[in-house]
Structure 1
Protein backbone atom coordinates (compact mmCIF):
# COMPACT_ATOMS: atom_id res chain seq x y z
CA UNK A 1 0.00 0.00 0.00
CA UNK A 2 1.21 3.50 -0.70
CA UNK A 3 2.46 4.84 2.62
CA UNK A 4 4.64 7.94 3.16
CA UNK A 5 5.89 6.55 6.48
CA UNK A 6 8.06 4.12 4.52
CA UNK A 7 10.20 7.02 3.33
CA UNK A 8 10.98 8.10 6.89
CA UNK A 9 11.74 4.65 8.28
CA UNK A 10 14.54 2.21 7.46
CA UNK A 11 14.20 1.84 3.71
CA UNK A 12 15.98 1.37 0.41
CA UNK A 13 15.33 2.94 -2.97
CA UNK A 14 14.53 1.05 -6.12
CA UNK A 15 13.99 2.43 -9.59
CA UNK A 16 11.56 0.58 -11.85
CA UNK A 17 11.11 1.30 -15.54
CA UNK A 18 7.87 3.10 -16.38
CA UNK A 19 6.65 0.22 -18.56
CA UNK A 20 6.77 -2.11 -15.52
CA UNK A 21 5.03 0.31 -13.12
CA UNK A 22 1.55 -1.25 -13.25
CA UNK A 23 2.76 -4.83 -12.82
CA UNK A 24 5.16 -3.86 -10.02
CA UNK A 25 2.59 -1.88 -8.02
CA UNK A 26 -0.05 -4.56 -8.55
CA UNK A 27 2.28 -7.20 -7.12
CA UNK A 28 3.20 -4.97 -4.18
CA UNK A 29 -0.52 -4.55 -3.39
CA UNK A 30 -1.15 -8.30 -3.78
CA UNK A 31 1.65 -9.09 -1.32
CA UNK A 32 0.62 -6.34 1.12
CA UNK A 33 3.97 -4.55 0.85
CA UNK A 34 4.07 -0.91 1.92
CA UNK A 35 5.82 1.44 -0.49
CA UNK A 36 6.08 5.08 -1.39
CA UNK A 37 6.89 6.91 -4.60
CA UNK A 38 6.88 10.58 -5.42
CA UNK A 39 4.08 11.39 -7.83
CA UNK A 40 5.78 14.41 -9.39
CA UNK A 41 9.12 13.12 -10.60
CA UNK A 42 10.74 15.44 -13.14
CA UNK A 43 12.50 12.72 -15.13
CA UNK A 44 11.16 9.18 -15.34
CA UNK A 45 13.43 8.08 -18.19
CA UNK A 46 15.66 6.19 -15.74
CA UNK A 47 12.67 4.80 -13.90
CA UNK A 48 10.25 5.60 -11.12
CA UNK A 49 11.87 5.79 -7.70
CA UNK A 50 10.19 3.64 -5.04
CA UNK A 51 10.93 3.67 -1.33
CA UNK A 52 10.55 0.20 0.19
CA UNK A 53 11.10 -1.16 3.69
CA UNK A 54 14.36 -3.02 4.25
CA UNK A 55 12.37 -5.82 5.88
CA UNK A 56 10.52 -6.45 2.60
CA UNK A 57 13.67 -6.69 0.46
CA UNK A 58 13.58 -10.49 -0.05
CA UNK A 59 9.92 -10.49 -1.03
CA UNK A 60 10.38 -7.54 -3.40
CA UNK A 61 13.36 -9.31 -4.99
CA UNK A 62 11.25 -12.40 -5.64
CA UNK A 63 8.49 -10.24 -7.20
CA UNK A 64 11.05 -8.64 -9.51
CA UNK A 65 12.50 -11.98 -10.59
CA UNK A 66 9.16 -13.78 -11.05
CA UNK A 67 7.66 -10.96 -13.14
CA UNK A 68 10.86 -10.15 -15.09
CA UNK A 69 10.69 -6.53 -13.97
CA UNK A 70 13.70 -4.37 -14.82
CA UNK A 71 14.73 -2.55 -11.66
CA UNK A 72 17.88 -0.92 -10.34
CA UNK A 73 19.24 0.94 -7.37
CA UNK A 74 20.28 4.57 -7.46
CA UNK A 75 23.93 3.70 -7.91
CA UNK A 76 23.58 0.97 -10.53
CA UNK A 77 21.51 2.07 -13.52
CA UNK A 78 20.17 -0.69 -15.73
CA UNK A 79 18.35 -0.59 -19.00
CA UNK A 80 16.04 -3.15 -20.50
CA UNK A 81 18.29 -5.11 -22.85
CA UNK A 82 15.26 -6.81 -24.37
CA UNK A 83 14.20 -3.46 -25.85
CA UNK A 84 17.72 -2.81 -27.13
CA UNK A 85 17.79 -6.23 -28.79
CA UNK A 86 14.56 -5.39 -30.64
CA UNK A 87 16.09 -2.17 -31.94
CA UNK A 88 19.23 -4.00 -33.04
CA UNK A 89 17.17 -6.60 -34.93
CA UNK A 90 15.25 -3.82 -36.69
CA UNK A 91 18.52 -2.09 -37.59
CA UNK A 92 19.88 -5.36 -39.02
CA UNK A 93 16.72 -5.93 -41.10
CA UNK A 94 16.81 -2.39 -42.51
CA UNK A 95 20.51 -2.78 -43.36
CA UNK A 96 19.89 -6.08 -45.17
CA UNK A 97 16.95 -4.63 -47.14
CA UNK A 98 18.96 -1.57 -48.21
CA UNK A 99 21.92 -3.75 -49.23
CA UNK A 100 19.65 -6.00 -51.32
CA UNK A 101 18.01 -2.96 -52.96
CA UNK A 102 21.40 -1.49 -53.86
CA UNK A 103 22.44 -4.85 -55.33
CA UNK A 104 19.25 -5.16 -57.40
CA UNK A 105 19.53 -1.58 -58.70
CA UNK A 106 23.20 -2.11 -59.65
CA UNK A 107 22.30 -5.37 -61.43
CA UNK A 108 19.50 -3.66 -63.38
CA UNK A 109 21.80 -0.78 -64.36
CA UNK A 110 24.55 -3.16 -65.52
CA UNK A 111 22.06 -5.23 -67.58
CA UNK A 112 20.72 -2.09 -69.30
CA UNK A 113 24.17 -1.16 -70.69
Structure 2
Protein backbone atom coordinates (compact mmCIF):
# COMPACT_ATOMS: atom_id res chain seq x y z
CA UNK A 1 0.00 0.00 0.00
CA UNK A 2 1.47 3.35 -1.02
CA UNK A 3 1.40 5.73 1.95
CA UNK A 4 2.21 9.04 0.30
CA UNK A 5 -0.46 9.15 -2.37
CA UNK A 6 -1.25 12.34 -4.25
CA UNK A 7 -4.66 10.82 -5.05
CA UNK A 8 -5.82 11.87 -1.60
CA UNK A 9 -5.87 15.51 -2.76
CA UNK A 10 -8.58 14.63 -5.30
CA UNK A 11 -10.81 12.71 -2.87
CA UNK A 12 -12.81 13.92 0.11
CA UNK A 13 -10.01 15.10 2.37
CA UNK A 14 -9.00 17.55 5.05
CA UNK A 15 -5.72 19.26 5.84
CA UNK A 16 -3.87 18.88 9.10
CA UNK A 17 -0.78 20.81 10.15
CA UNK A 18 1.75 19.00 12.33
CA UNK A 19 4.76 20.62 13.99
CA UNK A 20 8.15 19.55 12.65
CA UNK A 21 9.14 18.01 15.99
CA UNK A 22 6.18 15.58 15.76
CA UNK A 23 6.69 14.61 12.10
CA UNK A 24 8.45 11.28 12.69
CA UNK A 25 6.03 10.07 15.36
CA UNK A 26 3.05 11.21 13.29
CA UNK A 27 4.12 9.41 10.12
CA UNK A 28 5.26 6.23 11.86
CA UNK A 29 1.91 5.91 13.65
CA UNK A 30 0.10 6.36 10.34
CA UNK A 31 2.22 3.67 8.71
CA UNK A 32 1.57 1.27 11.62
CA UNK A 33 -2.19 1.92 11.52
CA UNK A 34 -2.59 1.79 7.74
CA UNK A 35 -3.63 5.43 7.30
CA UNK A 36 -2.91 6.90 3.86
CA UNK A 37 -1.50 10.41 3.81
CA UNK A 38 0.11 12.90 1.49
CA UNK A 39 2.28 15.90 2.25
CA UNK A 40 4.07 18.39 0.08
CA UNK A 41 7.80 18.11 0.63
CA UNK A 42 8.62 21.55 -0.74
CA UNK A 43 6.65 23.87 1.51
CA UNK A 44 7.94 27.45 1.63
CA UNK A 45 7.22 27.94 5.32
CA UNK A 46 6.98 25.14 7.87
CA UNK A 47 6.86 27.30 10.99
CA UNK A 48 3.10 26.72 11.18
CA UNK A 49 3.63 23.01 10.66
CA UNK A 50 3.85 20.51 7.85
CA UNK A 51 0.64 20.29 5.83
CA UNK A 52 -0.78 16.78 5.48
CA UNK A 53 -3.69 15.80 3.27
CA UNK A 54 -5.78 13.07 4.91
CA UNK A 55 -8.93 11.21 3.90
CA UNK A 56 -12.15 12.16 5.66
CA UNK A 57 -12.99 8.48 6.21
CA UNK A 58 -9.81 8.09 8.30
CA UNK A 59 -10.68 10.96 10.65
CA UNK A 60 -11.61 8.74 13.66
CA UNK A 61 -8.31 6.83 13.38
CA UNK A 62 -6.38 10.07 12.98
CA UNK A 63 -8.04 11.66 16.02
CA UNK A 64 -7.16 8.61 18.10
CA UNK A 65 -3.52 8.61 16.92
CA UNK A 66 -3.07 12.33 17.57
CA UNK A 67 -4.62 12.19 21.05
CA UNK A 68 -2.88 9.00 22.22
CA UNK A 69 0.56 10.19 21.10
CA UNK A 70 0.25 13.79 22.30
CA UNK A 71 0.94 15.14 18.82
CA UNK A 72 0.41 18.87 18.35
CA UNK A 73 -1.78 19.23 15.24
CA UNK A 74 -4.14 21.85 13.87
CA UNK A 75 -6.35 22.69 10.94
CA UNK A 76 -6.05 25.68 8.62
CA UNK A 77 -8.44 27.75 10.71
CA UNK A 78 -7.05 26.90 14.14
CA UNK A 79 -3.30 27.49 14.46
CA UNK A 80 -1.23 25.12 16.57
CA UNK A 81 0.85 26.19 19.50
CA UNK A 82 3.01 24.06 21.67
CA UNK A 83 2.37 25.62 25.06
CA UNK A 84 4.81 23.19 26.67
CA UNK A 85 7.67 24.75 24.71
CA UNK A 86 6.54 28.25 25.66
CA UNK A 87 6.49 27.28 29.33
CA UNK A 88 10.06 25.98 29.06
CA UNK A 89 11.21 29.28 27.55
CA UNK A 90 9.42 31.28 30.24
CA UNK A 91 11.04 29.13 32.92
CA UNK A 92 14.49 29.84 31.45
CA UNK A 93 13.75 33.59 31.44
CA UNK A 94 12.60 33.47 35.06
CA UNK A 95 15.70 31.55 36.19
CA UNK A 96 17.96 33.95 34.29
CA UNK A 97 16.26 36.97 35.86
CA UNK A 98 16.64 35.47 39.36
CA UNK A 99 20.33 34.74 38.78
CA UNK A 100 20.93 38.32 37.59
CA UNK A 101 19.15 39.75 40.65
CA UNK A 102 21.18 37.52 43.00
CA UNK A 103 24.45 38.58 41.32
CA UNK A 104 23.50 42.25 41.65
CA UNK A 105 22.69 41.77 45.35
CA UNK A 106 26.02 40.01 45.94
CA UNK A 107 27.90 42.84 44.21
CA UNK A 108 26.10 45.47 46.32
CA UNK A 109 26.85 43.50 49.49
CA UNK A 110 30.53 43.21 48.56
CA UNK A 111 30.73 46.95 47.83
CA UNK A 112 29.19 47.75 51.21
CA UNK A 113 31.61 45.40 52.98
CA UNK A 114 34.54 46.95 51.14
CA UNK A 115 33.40 50.44 52.19
CA UNK A 116 33.13 49.39 55.84
CA UNK A 117 36.55 47.72 55.84
CA UNK A 118 38.13 50.66 54.06
CA UNK A 119 36.79 53.13 56.65
CA UNK A 120 38.03 51.01 59.53
CA UNK A 121 41.64 51.15 58.41
Query: What's the TM-score bracket when you normalise by the shorter of the two chains?
Result: over 0.9
1:50-85 Cα distance to aligned partner (Å, 9 max, x none): 000000011101100111000000011021111111
| Cα offset, 1:111, TM superposition | 1.1
Whole-Å Cα distance in 2 between the matches of residues 36 and 7 of structure 1? Answer: 8
Number of positions where the alignment pairs a residue of Structure 1 with one of Structure 2: 113
In our comparison, the structure showing a higher alpha carbon Rg is: 2
Runs of 4+ in 1 over 2 A off after TM superposition: none
Give the Cα separation in 2 of the matches to 1:20 and 1:64. 10
CA RMSD of aligned residues (A): 0.5
Instruction: State the distance in 1 between where 2:103 and 2:13 align.
Output: 57
Matches within 5 A, 1:93-108: 93-108=95-110
Task: Say whether residues 1:46 and 2:48 are aligned partners.
Answer: yes
Q: 2 CA distance for matches of 1:3 and 1:32?
A: 13
Instruction: Verify: 1:110 aligned to 2:120, yes or no.
Output: no
For 1:35 and 1:58, locate their aligned partners in 2 and report how far apart those are by CA, in whole Å: 14
Partner SS state of residue 33, structure 1 = coil
Pairs within 5 Å for 1:83-98: 83-98=85-100
Q: Secondary structure at the match of 2:46?
A: coil
For structure 2, which runs of at least 5 residues remain unmatched after alignment?
116-121
